[in-house]
């Protein structure tokens, strides 16, 4: 029923038209008349004087309806900036028993607030308003007993929760997923649960294929949570590319010098190339290092070497051997004319900081190939893929694994040049999308944030701190759900990032667990709305 219909219905069906014409909405169950619009009313921000008996009822973030009877208009908005006043200071001689049902005569307000207008209710939908609610208009709070659907068609969207005070169901616009979502809040605020709600909804109500990177392994990786239809990939079983292995090795050895890191890079590449050459020559013994190095410099097709390496890893027939690697490394160091002291240093570091176990336990047994997993995602074979990164012990490698996956998806999406319909979820995103120290994952995340929407490739990033998301990532995220933040500097960042947070500063520290503001493109109400996240296991 539209407002106009409602108005007429109440008007004609009432036995007391005179009273009704002054107060139409107040008859509806679940709306509470709390005050009246005062002067300085604007189209977007409407000052309200709160009646005495509602002083202990009105709270910031409540949903309000402003009924302008004179102009026959109805506005929806959110209560902000409520303050209680001291009449001894504001006007001690004035009466305070203001009762908007009966009189608008001047009295000193004991409490005032603003209603930040979301829009005008016109024929069941919300429209941007330039009209200004008249002073004297009545202000009602929407309580949980009011059925908002009587006035407004609220789009269903992805059901994440309910407006905190009115209980109105809030759905995120699924069209906004392509434009990326961030979930931010201090530890324990309920980010991961909220992300799970988003994933569940995306799977149920859209055609997105979802890949989740589970940093801790605690939140997403239990298959029973998803009713079984999920592909959980163990991060410690993913075959790493040679550059990743070299990075991890060099980090382990504590090599900061670029040139010395390059030696490791060369040794890893040569080790793999020799292994593949030996296989292709049908020899059971290893190809000679001299031969492998010569081929590496001359005409070896490295792409097919890496392909071959993955193939052998998949079948478990590529073997990493500590002793052999030391030989290769020493060969490379000699070739590079390093001092013998450097050769000794590398040997010691390899033994003390890396060791046999790294090669035999960590590098061997990595039989999951990123390309295969991505193929299953893109072909629609698995709609939900969870990469459990908790078992990957090397911190550096986690970032590379995320990078390998996202890069593979990105490259294939660009190749096909059609809509991909992929949602990549990165919880604990400060480990992967930060401004410094998150390469190479941060680079590809920034690229997807920038260009992903063209290809239907959306990101959901959850993090405790706003500043831990690199500015070039943040700048391209269009929907933000945020709760209590860690510090004042996080709040300052939020304000710079998201419009319309003027009054939220007072409320933000008070938020309970599971309470998030929904702001940005995905919010069907245009102004940040306080949502209590639905039950999520």
Give the binding site for ligand ATP (CB under 6 A): 185, 187-193, 464, 513-514, 533, 535-536
| 125 versus 486: smaller Cβ distance to ligand ATP | 486
Shortest spacing between CB 427 and Mg ion, in angstroms: 6
Contact between 464 and Mg ion (CB under 5 A)?
no
| 34 versus 467: smaller Cβ distance to ligand ATP | 467
Contacts of 315 (CB under 8 A, 6+ apart): 367
Q: Using CB under 5 A, pick the residue from 112, 129, 192, 350 that binds Mg ion.
A: 192
Q: Which of Mg ion, ligand ATP, none binds 180 (CB below 5-8 Å, type-dependent)?
A: none
Q: Which of Mg ion, ligand ATP, none binds 190 (CB below 5-8 Å, type-dependent)?
A: ligand ATP
Tokens at 528, concatenated: 């940040």
Shortest spacing between CB 461 and Mg ion, in angstroms: 12
Widest CA span of the chain, in angstroms? 104
Shortest spacing between CB 194 and Mg ion, in angstroms: 9
Residue 114: closest CA among 26, 52, 40, 165: 40
Tokens at 513, concatenated: 């667990």
Shortest spacing between CB 517 and ligand ATP, in angstroms: 14
Shortest spacing between CB 193 and Mg ion, in angstroms: 8
CA dist., res. 454 & res. 139, Å (int): 43
| 100 versus 190: smaller Cβ distance to ligand ATP | 190
| 188 versus 316: smaller Cβ distance to ligand ATP | 188
Q: Which of ligand ATP, Mg ion, none binds 193 (CB below 5-8 Å, type-dependent)?
A: ligand ATP
CB-CB contact of 138 with 33 (8 Å) = yes
| 33 versus 198: smaller Cβ distance to Mg ion | 198
CA dist., res. 451 & res. 130, Å (int): 34
| 141 versus 480: smaller Cβ distance to Mg ion | 480
Residue 463: closest CA among 431, 423, 422, 424: 431
| 141 versus 429: smaller Cβ distance to ligand ATP | 429
CA dist., res. 172 & res. 201, Å (int): 10
| Residue number, nearest CB to ligand ATP | 190
Q: Which of Mg ion, ligand ATP, none binds 187 (CB below 5-8 Å, type-dependent)?
A: ligand ATP
Residue 401: closest CA among 422, 387, 383, 415: 387
**Which long-range contacts link 242-247 to residues 24+ away (Cβ below 8 Å)?**
242/268, 242/269, 242/272, 242/306, 242/309, 243/400, 244/396, 244/397, 244/400, 244/401, 244/404, 245/363, 247/396, 247/400
Site stretch for Mg ion (CB under 5 A), options 131-139, 167-175, 188-196, 514-522:
188-196
Residues that bind Mg ion (CB under 5 A): 191-192
């Amino acid at each position: 029923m539209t407002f106009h219909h409602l108005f007429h219905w109440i008007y004609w069906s009432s036995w007391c038209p005179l009273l009704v014409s002054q107060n139409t909405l107040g008859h509806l169950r679940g709306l509470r008349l709390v005050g009246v619009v005062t002067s300085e009313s604007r189209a977007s921000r409407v000052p309200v004087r709160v009646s005495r008996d509602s002083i202990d009822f009105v709270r910031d973030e409540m949903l309000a309806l402003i009924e302008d009877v004179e102009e026959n208009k109805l506005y929806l908005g959110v209560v902000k900036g409520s303050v209680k006043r001291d009449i001894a200071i504001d006007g001690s001689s004035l009466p305070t028993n203001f009762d908007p049902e009966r009189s608008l005569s001047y009295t000193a307000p004991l409490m005032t607030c603003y209603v930040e207008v979301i829009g005008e209710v016109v024929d069941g939908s919300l429209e941007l308003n330039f009209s200004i609610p008249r002073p004297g208009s009545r202000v009602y709070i929407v309580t949980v007993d009011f059925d908002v659907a009587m006035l407004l068609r609220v789009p269903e969207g992805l059901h994440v929760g309910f407006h905190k005070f009115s209980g109105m169901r809030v759905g995120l616009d699924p069209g906004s997923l392509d434009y990326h979502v961030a979930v931010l809040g201090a530890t324990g605020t309920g980010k991961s649960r909220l992300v799970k709600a988003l994933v569940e909804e995306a799977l149920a109500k859209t055609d997105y294929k979802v890949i989740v990177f589970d940093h801790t392994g605690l939140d997403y990786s239990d298959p029973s949570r998803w009713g079984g239809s999920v592909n959980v990939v163990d991060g410690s079983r993913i075959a790493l590319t040679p550059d990743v292995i070299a990075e991890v090795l060099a980090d382990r050895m504590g090599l900061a010098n670029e040139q010395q890191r390059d030696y490791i890079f060369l040794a890893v590449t040569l080790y793999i190339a020799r292994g593949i050459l030996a296989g292709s020559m049908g020899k059971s013994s290893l190809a000679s290092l001299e031969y492998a190095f010569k081929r590496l410099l001359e005409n070896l097709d490295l792409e097919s070497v890496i392909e071959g390496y993955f193939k052998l890893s998949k079948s478990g027939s590529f073997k990493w051997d500590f002793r052999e690697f030391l030989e290769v490394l020493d060969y490379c160091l000699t070739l590079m004319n390093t001092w013998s002291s450097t050769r000794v240093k590398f040997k010691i570091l390899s033994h003390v900081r890396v060791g046999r176990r790294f090669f035999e336990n960590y590098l061997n047994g990595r039989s999951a190939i990123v390309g295969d997993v991505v193929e299953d995602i893109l072909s629609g074979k698995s709609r939900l893929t969870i990469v459990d990164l908790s078992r990957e012990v090397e911190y550096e490698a986690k970032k590379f694994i995320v990078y390998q996956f996202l890069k593979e998806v990105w490259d294939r999406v660009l190749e096909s040049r059609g809509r991909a319909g992929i949602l990549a979820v990165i919880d604990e995103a400060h480990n992967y999308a930060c401004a410094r120290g998150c390469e190479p994952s941060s680079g590809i995340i920034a690229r997807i944030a920038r260009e992903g929407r063209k290809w239907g490739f959306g990101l959901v990033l959850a993090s405790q701190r706003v500043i831990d998301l690199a500015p070039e990532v943040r700048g391209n995220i269009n929907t933000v759900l945020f709760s209590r933040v860690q510090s004042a500097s996080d709040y300052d960042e939020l304000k710079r990032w998201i419009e319309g947070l003027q009054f939220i500063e007072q409320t933000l520290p008070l938020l309970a667990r599971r309470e998030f503001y929904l702001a940005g493109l995905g919010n069907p109400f245009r102004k940040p709305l306080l949502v209590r996240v639905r039950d999520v296991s």
